[in-house]
Amino acid sequence: MIEQTLMLIKPNAVRDGHIGDIISIIERDGFTIKKMKQMRFDENLAAKFYQEHLGKGFYERLLSFMCSGDSVALLLEKENAIAGLRELMGDVVPEKRKPGTIRALYGADVTENGVHGSDSPESAVREIGIVFVN
């Protein structure tokens, strides 16, 4: 089934000049970019986007990081896009990342992992609405 999902290229990957590299990887994997924008999260937008993590130990660090620089948001489409993107991105935990995944190539640690991707159809709808309405 054709699905849509959201991908964020996070501030560390933008700062390090990897926007084009990451876009090339997702295009080679068959994703279609339906919308794209460069943006900067403010505290309110970051808090709304990451509300499911409120109260977790890493929450404040995550919000601070996401507000630290520009991100690039991509609305992607492909057959089974959500699962496909999550596999292409790789694990959030550095020790569990498979070689060649986006996070293995461009992620620094658990928070500054280079990219975000929606984890379910419900999250994709919510996140796309948050990012592409603003």
Which residues form the catalytic set?
116
Question: How many alpha carbons fall within 13 Å on the CB side of residue 43?
Answer: 3
The backbone torsions φ and ψ at residue 106, rounded to the nearest 5 degrees and listed phi first, read -125, 5
The backbone torsions φ and ψ at residue 116, rounded to the nearest 5 degrees and listed phi first, read -125, 145
Report residue 71 as tokens: 């991100």
Cα dihedral sign, 81-86-88-89: positive
**DSSP H stretches of helix in the chain:** 11-15, 19-28, 43-49, 59-66, 81-89, 102-106, 121-133
